[in-house]
Structure formats: C-alpha cells, structure tokens
Chains A and B, each alone.
Chain A
C-alpha cells in the first residue's frame, strides 16, 4: 500500500464528490423536469460543452485501453488518432441539424427524433434498445479503469473487501447523478479534464527526460510495433484494418446515447460547431496518451518483478499505471490515478443518464405509462439511472472482465446500425420506415455474426473480395449491408405504395434561422 498516493487520491475523489452534489444548485433549474435533469436545461455554453463532451467521449477506459493496445499490439492502437480527427468534420456538418430539430420539437433522445421523423414506433424502439445495449457494457468498462488504478496503489484483493472501494466509488457516482442529473458530470468534467491535462503534459515531458529522449524511446520499440506491418500479397492487411477502424468508429461515436446527450445539452447549434474545432485538443491529448504505451515498452515495465502479479491480472491495461509507479513520486502517482478514476465517473454518469432518458422517453412512457406526468417522467429517469449503474457494477464484479470488453466491441457494431435512421434521417425522410427497420436488423445480425465468427476477440473481419483479402471493421462492413437493404427495400415499398409514417418535421426545423 502506498499511503501518500492513496491520500492524494482520496482527497481529490472527495473534492469531486462534493462538487457532484453542489452541482444541483448550479444554474438552478427544476430538476423534476427531464429536460433539466437529463439535459441540464439545454443551457451549456461553448466552454462547458467542451469540458463535458471532452470528459464524455475520451473516457477513462479509452485512456487505459489505447496505450495498452499500443503497448501490446503496437501502431494499430494509434487508429484512435485518425478516428478522433475525422469525427469532428462529420459532427460539424451533421449534428447542428440534430440540435436544431430537437430544440424545436423538445426531443431528448435520438429515438425521439426518429419517432418524429419517420412516425414509426417499432423503429424508434429499435433505436432506443440499440442505444441501451451498446452503452451498458461501456459503463461497465469505466469501472475497469478505476479497478486498474486502485490495484496500482495496492488496493486490490478478492471477495467483498477487495471490491469495496469500487462499490463505494459507484455508490457516490449513483447518488450525485440521482440528485444533480447532468449538471454533476458537467461540473466534475472541468476538474477531471484539468487533472488529465496536467498529468499527461507532465508525463510526456518528464518521462522522455528520464528515459533519454523521444529518439531513444522510439528506438527501443521493435519495428513490428513501431509502424503498421506491410500488407502481405493478396491482402490489404493492417492498412485497411487501420483505416476502417478509424472511419467506422468515427461514424459510430456520436450515435452513442451519451454523445447525443452531450450534443443536445448545448445551448446553441453554434456551441456544437465551435466545439468541432475545439475538441481536437483532446485528440492531441489522446495521441500523447497513446505514446505512453511506447514509453512503457522503453521503460521495460513489462519485465519488472514488482508489477508481475498486476500484469498477470490486468494484462496490458496495467502498462500505464506501471509506468507511473516506476517513474514518479507517490504524490504524483496519486494525482494521476485520481485523474483516471475521476475520468471514469464523468462518462459513467452521462452514460447512465443517457440510457435512463432512452428508457424513460422511448420505452416506459410509450409502452408502460403513456399518461405519466412530467414529474413522474423525471422520477422514472432518475430511478432508471440507478438501475443501469448497479447493473453495470454487478456485471463487472460477478462476470469475467472479458465479457464486458467483448460486449463493448459489439456495441460499436450495433450502434452504427442506427446511422441510416438518425444521421441520414436528418437530411431526408425518403427512406421507408419499414425498410429502415429491416436494414437495421440485417446490419445487427450480420455484424454480430462477423464478430462471433472471430470468437469475439476482434472486430476486424477479413472480407474476401475475389482473390483479395480486405480486413475491415465489422461495424463498417455491416453498415454497408444495412444501407443496401434499406435503399433497396425503400424502392420496393414505394413501388407497391406502402404508407410512410407521418413526418412531424419540416426542413426549416433543421436550420439555424428556425431555432
């Protein structure tokens, strides 16, 4: 046990706990309305949106898993960089439209929008369920981030006592999310992001000095991990894997409920456009964090006897904690680990709010209690957020971690199937509601089958096109199938004049002047 590190860690954790509860009074609103609890009243300006989305999208799991992938597998792990570069031009063009139409019609979730645009309850339900199932394992994985750093300061073990710190962290998270809603993660995100920036900037300056410079660090990385291996003849090899992972992940990212919640809580469409130019600061940070994977190789943490047991339990995910433990004084280790653990609270909180919004608006209110009042709606959402979080906690404590990782892998494949309805739906209502639903189902089935055929160990599927092998991110490949089915069926259903659902929106709703 490292008591200095633990003290710093606990002190910072206590600070954000207080912040989380104080947040309920911040820009005070009536938290008995789901708009206020679940979207912070749509009043977050450019700066707070920057902190919120930054804290939301660049999760603790990302900060642990990306350098772990670079440490274990090499340059392929760097796909996180092109992924989080190209996502913003896409967001800049597409998501202000979602913001405007949602503000006009009071939509809280992507599923609300799909219901309004295509007038199809089954389609809206499909979008809602996809969002919930894609997000649940993601929440569970945030806990992995906390678990790994707790183990780093010597808090681990088996049984209830070993799990207790994690349970305490989660109870705190659940309580402040319940009372303060989206205001809590918005406020905590500011602290979290400052901690993360300070930690990473210190690390990328100090560690190279300790290890003899960047040149030496890269020189100690074996060539097969330093850049992508040259594709073998007859295959696009790692090249197409890298590019499709980046493109598919970028298309999927903002379809996740927690991203939509972040977007819709902004005070204006301009705040989203501005953030498309400002959020790449986090991408730069993520790139630096990815480099920590190489620094861990150069420092040789994988062979240090002190860390052997933790590497055995947590695998490459322990690379970055080990690097900090090996090179930094205890107080800084406590600071850095608190940054990661608090970094898990923000996305976990937003994700649970987002799934709670989906459940309340698009399942409970539609199928179970159509007559519920505004106050009841907000209350149901609060309770749903608790259920979601304790579900995630139980998942991570009771089942092997690999299930959460595999389900999160599948989550990306699933959520991207809502792109035709949600993203293309922002531009046109030409698609037939039944066609969208069948396309969605086709994409889910084929994408899941692809990942299953690989034993759930990777989501890069080797497509065979003639003699050529094209390793392709299953999400992207299955999205193409989804789109083909949707377009073909729309033509067919139009020919036989099957009725479209009603469209509540007009083009002006999607543009600035209307908002």
Chain B
C-alpha cells in the first residue's frame, strides 16, 4: 500500500503536461492569422483542429502514466476487503 502510494506521488508530475492545451489554444495572438494555410484552410482553423488531436493524445499519455495498473488495484481492494 505504502509503496503504491509513493509511486502514485511520483506519477503526479505527469499532470503538468495537461497545462499544455491551455497555453496552446488560449494565446490568441499566436494563431489568429491566415498564413500559413493548409489546403486552403487558414492557419486559425487547422491550428485549433490540430490541438484537438494533440490534447487528446496528451490526455491519453497522462492516463497511462498516472493511473496505476488496474490489476494491482483490484487485488489490493480484494485484500483490503478480506481484512
């Protein structure tokens, strides 16, 4: 139990990555422009669409890093109940 908690604490640093989407899409002067366009789509749009994908991938990465293995948890839980 203790060991798991220590691991969990270490993992929490991954959460910092979740700030990236906020910076990416809330700093408007950076992306409020037409050039460079992509297949005729202005930068303003494809940049924000790109962040939808990046944000999802970052969240998935953080999930795999932060959430401890499901099996270990289930075992812990069962043992806890038995006691």
Contact = CB atoms under 8 A, between A and B. Distances in A.
A263 B41 CA distance: 36
A270 B70 contact: yes
A115 interface: no
Nearest to B68: A512
Interface in A275-299: 276-278, 280-281, 283-284, 287, 291
Nearest to A241: B28
Contact of A89 (B22, B29, B34): B22
Interface of A is mostly: helix
B40 A213 contact: yes
B26 A247 contact: yes
Interface in A217-265: 217-219, 226-228, 239, 242-243, 246-247
A93 B52 contact: no
Contacts of A228: 28, 32, 44
A477 interface: no
Contact of B52 (A75, A214, A219, A287): A287
A284 B49 contact: yes
A22 interface: no
Interface in A41-98: 75, 78, 81-82, 85-86, 88-89, 92-93
B24 to A, nearest CB: 8
Interface size class of B (residues with CB under 8 A): 35 or more
Contact of B26 (A82, A273, A278, A283): A82
Contacts of A239: 28-29, 32
Contacts, number: 114
B68 to A, nearest CB: 8
Contacts of A246: 25-26
Contacts of B4: 513
A227 B29 contact: no
Nearest to A223: B34
Contacts of B44: 75, 78, 226-228
Interface string B25-47: 11111001110010111101100
A215 B22 contact: no
Nearest to A242: B28
Contacts of A218: 37, 40-42
B25 A215 contact: no
Contacts of B52: 81, 85, 280, 283-284, 287
Contacts of A369: none
Contacts of A89: 18-19, 21-22, 55, 58-59
B6 interface: no
A25 interface: no
Residue with the greatest number of chain A CB neighbours at <10 A, chosen from B15, B22, B70, B76: B22
A229 to B, nearest CB: 9
Contacts of B67: 270, 273, 512
A214 B29 contact: no
Contacts of A213: 40
A409 B18 CA distance: 28
B18 A82 contact: no
Given A88-B59, A228-B28, A247-B26, A512 B73 contact: yes
Interface of B: 1, 4, 15, 18-19, 21-22, 25-29, 32-34, 37, 39-42, 44-45, 48-49, 51-53, 55-60, 62-63, 67-68, 70, 73, 76-77, 80
Given A215-B39, A226-B34, 16 more contacts: A78-B45, A78-B48, A85-B21, A85-B51, A88-B55, A89-B58, A93-B18, A213-B40, A216-B40, A228-B32, A239-B32, A270-B67, A276-B59, A276-B63, A277-B57, A284-B53
9 contacts: A82-B25, A88-B55, A93-B15, A214-B39, A215-B37, A219-B40, A227-B44, A287-B52, A513-B76
What 8 pairs across the A-B complex have the smallest Cβ distances?
A: A215-B40, A89-B18, A82-B25, A277-B60, A280-B56, A277-B59, A239-B28, A214-B40
